[in-house]
Structures are given as C-alpha cells and as structure tokens.
Amino acid sequence: MEHAHLRLDRPSAPTAKLEAFLSAHTSETPFVAIDLDIVAERYHALAEALPQADVFYAVKANPARPILDLLVAAGSKFDVASRHEVQMVLDAGAEPSRISFGNTIKKARDIAWAYEQGVRLFAFDAEEELSKLTEHAPGATVFCRVLCDGSGADWPLSRKFGCEPEEAARLVVLAARAGHPVGVSFHVGSQQRDLTAWDRALAEVAYVADALHDGGHRLAVINVGGGFPGRYQEAMPPIAAYGQAISQALADRMPTYVDNPVLVIAEPGRYLVADAGVLQTEVVLVSRKSELDERRWVYLDCGKFGGLAETMDEAIRYRMRTPHDGGIDGPVTLAGPTCDSADVLYEKTDYRLPLALTSGDRVELLSCGAYTTTYSAVGFNGFAPLREHFV
C-alpha cells in the first residue's frame, strides 16, 4: 500500500568527494567506494526521527572497520548476527553492553562465548533456543521475534524468522519464569515502503505483551527492527515519515500498563550505509543474440556472485550511470561475468542503457553500500571478492 499523499524522497547524486574518487579511475574494478560522511549523517537523521529508540546498527549490512569505528564514536549500538560480528564490534571499541545478538539461530557455544564477553541482549523465536539462552546466558535480557507478514517490502521475507504470536506469548512467559527480562521483536521486511506495517506488527506485540502482563511479568524491550530504505529505482518516504509512523503506532498500540522505561530498539542496516556507496564496474561485453535483436546483453565485471546478490529475483533495482547517459538508449538485459547461467542481474526489469555503451566503459551502480561486499563469493570462477574503498 503506497501513501500517495506522502512527499517522497527523490534520489540524490553521490557527494563531490565520491565523484572525485570515482572519476579518477585509478582503482581496479569492480569496487565499492563509500563516503563515511553519509553514514554519519544517516545515523543522526534516524536518531532524530525516532528519538525514543536506541539505534542498533545491523552490522551484517556492511561490517567494514571504518564504518564500525565511526558508529562506535557516534554512540551507536550494534545488532550482530554471529560470534565473529560480536568480535568485530568489540575490536572497534564498543562495550559489550552496546551489543544485541539479534540472530535467532545461534550455537550454544557461541551464546556462552558472547555472554562471557559481557553481551546481555539476545534474540530467540523457539523453545529450543530459549533453553540454550537460559543455560548459557542466565539472567540476560531476551526478546522473542514474532512473525510479520512483510507485505510492502522489496526484499523477500520468508517465514524463516519469528514464530506465531500465540507461540511467542507462550515463550515470553517461559522466559520470564526462567529469570530473563523479556521483550518482543519483529521485522517488517527490508526496504519497507508501507508505513502502516509497523502498526500491524505492533498490534501483535501488544498481544504478546498482554500474555506477559497476565502472567505478572513486565515487558522490558520492544524491538521495531529495520526496514528503513535505501534509494534504489523507486522513490521512498523520507525518514521523518518512518519516525512519525512508528511513534504513532507505539502510542496507539502499547497497552497503558507497559512500564516505562521500555528499551525501544531500532535496527537500521541498509538505511545507514546503502546510499553511502557507489559500485564501479566495467563493461566486459555488449552483444545481441541475433543480428536484429533490439535488446542487447550487457555483461559487467560484477555479478550476482560478486556482490550483487540482492538482484536475486530482481528484488533490489539499483540506479545506474554510464559515460554515455543522455545519448540514445535501448533495452538491455544485464548479467555478470561468470560462466554461471544464473548470474543474470536484470532480465525482467525494464533497464535501458545508451546504444554507445561498449566494452571497457565504466558503469556505476548507486546506493551499493549495503549487502554487497560480504555477500561476494570467495572466488567463484576465479574472480576476486568485491573490493571496498573509503573516502
């Protein structure tokens, strides 16, 4: 559901600093160049838009050390997916109290290790996981993830994370009885364009909170997840509109018995880093499958296994620039450089690129700072992982 009356954020061009780096053409392609100033600006914009929440950066979006350093200094907290991500955040100088182990799928020994390091905030969505937490992280704050429908989101949400609200209600009571301060979390789906999604999810949270209240326990955490957008092909609502919608939903849905202070958590990943990055790639080949085909195939030196995994099902549609923009264009299918026939980026989405485009030209994909470098394959077809530069 789109909000036609909402002012939409129009995509902006990369910063002057980024443009200078990109036009130098001194770095071998493919690479992502990141402007750290944009990361800082986004962190503060979200903190301002949602003042009642603590911002936990979803490290998986881009765990590069310069980004972690910047966010540690800015006062951010961190949502981590694995033992190694805990270590990276600690190495960047954050206290363990600023870490949430947000993956609902954790080995018992990784929970124990994180707890030893001082981590005291953990996600779960199943009884088996709660048992591991009670055994290996006694007394830690735990939050149960409820399933969300995810409609309105661009990146597919499966039923992989979370449990049904009835099951969550049962589990949070078990957790409270086992001595954990407890909370509830959800995720409305990545690149969420429907601002009412949070209201629907918070209605589920209220249902779970009721069960907790009925059992005589207190709700300690509400985790409103991520879903804050990067700027791809489609215009999206501005961050202030997200803040307003979530604040309003919290006010509307939270029962009056919910004690303050409740820790409200927001977990932006994409929003903080996507627009900070530009991916520069080289055209390796432009071809037609038959002489009269109108549609050309454009093969880039970065593909689905080289960092552009989010083109899966053409879910994320990056904006592109070429040296010939403004010239006559025509329809294209875009693909990566590997011998894998699944390494096609865009086939159904209507991309058009200049007819003058040829091998050796540099093409830029905008808003590539999130979910690119670490998705990159370790060496598929002998191609090196995606490089990253900071400006």
Report if residue 208 touches a copy of itself, rule: CB under 8 A.
no
Report if residue 289 touches a copy of itself, rule: CB under 8 A.
yes
Cα–Cα dist 23/304, whole Å: 25
Task: Determine contact, residues 33/18, Cβ cutoff 8 Å.
Answer: yes
Report if residue 102 touches a copy of itself, rule: CB under 8 A.
yes
Give, as one character, the DSSP assignment of residue 3: -
Closest distance to a copy of itself from the beta carbon of 244 (Å)? 26
Closest distance to a copy of itself from the beta carbon of 218 (Å)? 24
Residue 147 or 239: the one with the smaller Cβ distance to a copy of itself is: 147
Closest distance to a copy of itself from the beta carbon of 238 (Å)? 26
Q: Which pair of structure tokens corresponds to residue 97?
A: 């109290």
Task: Determine contact, residues 142/180, Cβ cutoff 8 Å.
Answer: yes
The residue range among 92-100, 208-216, 299-307, 319-327 that interacts with a copy of itself, by the rule CB under 8 A, is 299-307
Q: How many CB atoms lie within 10 A of CB 363?
A: 23
The residue range among 7-15, 18-26, 194-202, 367-375 that interacts with a copy of itself, by the rule CB under 8 A, is 367-375
Among candidate residues 301, 304, 274, the one with its CA nearest the CA of residue 285: 301
The alpha carbon torsion through 18, 23, 29, 31 (nearest 10 deg) reads 0
Residue 54 or 125: the one with the smaller Cβ distance to a copy of itself is: 125
- Using CB under 8 A as the binding rule, the residues of this chain from 110 to 169 that contact a copy of itself are 125-129, 132, 147, 155-164, 166-167
Q: Which pair of structure tokens corresponds to residue 168?
A: 């969550």
Closest distance to a copy of itself from the beta carbon of 292 (Å)? 9
- Using CB under 8 A as the binding rule, the residues of this chain from 246 to 285 that contact a copy of itself are 282, 284-285
Report if residue 83 touches a copy of itself, rule: CB under 8 A.
yes
| 339 catalytic per annotation | yes
Give, as one character, the DSSP assignment of residue 319: -
Residue 145 or 258: the one with the smaller Cβ distance to a copy of itself is: 145
Task: Determine contact, residues 60/39, Cβ cutoff 8 Å.
Answer: no
Which residue of 51, 216, 326, 360 would you call a contact of a copy of itself, by CB under 8 A?
360
Residue 258 or 284: the one with the smaller Cβ distance to a copy of itself is: 284
Cα–Cα dist 318/367, whole Å: 7
Residue 6 or 286: the one with the smaller Cβ distance to a copy of itself is: 286
Among candidate residues 138, 135, 111, the one with its CA nearest the CA of residue 123: 111
Type of residue at 75: G
Closest distance to a copy of itself from the beta carbon of 325 (Å)? 21
- The residue annotated as part of the active site, out of 144, 302, 339, 368, is 339
Which residue of 104, 185, 191, 322 would you call a contact of a copy of itself, by CB under 8 A?
104
Cα–Cα dist 212/170, whole Å: 9
Which residue of 45, 46, 50, 80 would you call a contact of a copy of itself, by CB under 8 A?
80
Type of residue at 2: E
Residue 155 or 207: the one with the smaller Cβ distance to a copy of itself is: 155
Report if residue 380 touches a copy of itself, rule: CB under 8 A.
yes
Which residue of 232, 299, 318, 351 would you call a contact of a copy of itself, by CB under 8 A?
299
Which residue of 62, 76, 100, 103 would you call a contact of a copy of itself, by CB under 8 A?
103
Task: Determine contact, residues 175/140, Cβ cutoff 8 Å.
Answer: no
Report if residue 385 touches a copy of itself, rule: CB under 8 A.
yes
Cα–Cα dist 173/169, whole Å: 7
Give the DSSP letter string of 4-68.
Answer: TTSPPBPPPPPPHHHHHHHHH--SPSSEEEE-HHHHHHHHHHHHHHSTTEEEEEEGGG---HHHH
- Using CB under 8 A as the binding rule, the residues of this chain from 324 to 343 that contact a copy of itself are 335, 337-343
Which residue of 344, 365, 366, 368 would you call a contact of a copy of itself, by CB under 8 A?
344
Catalytic positions, written as ranges: 339
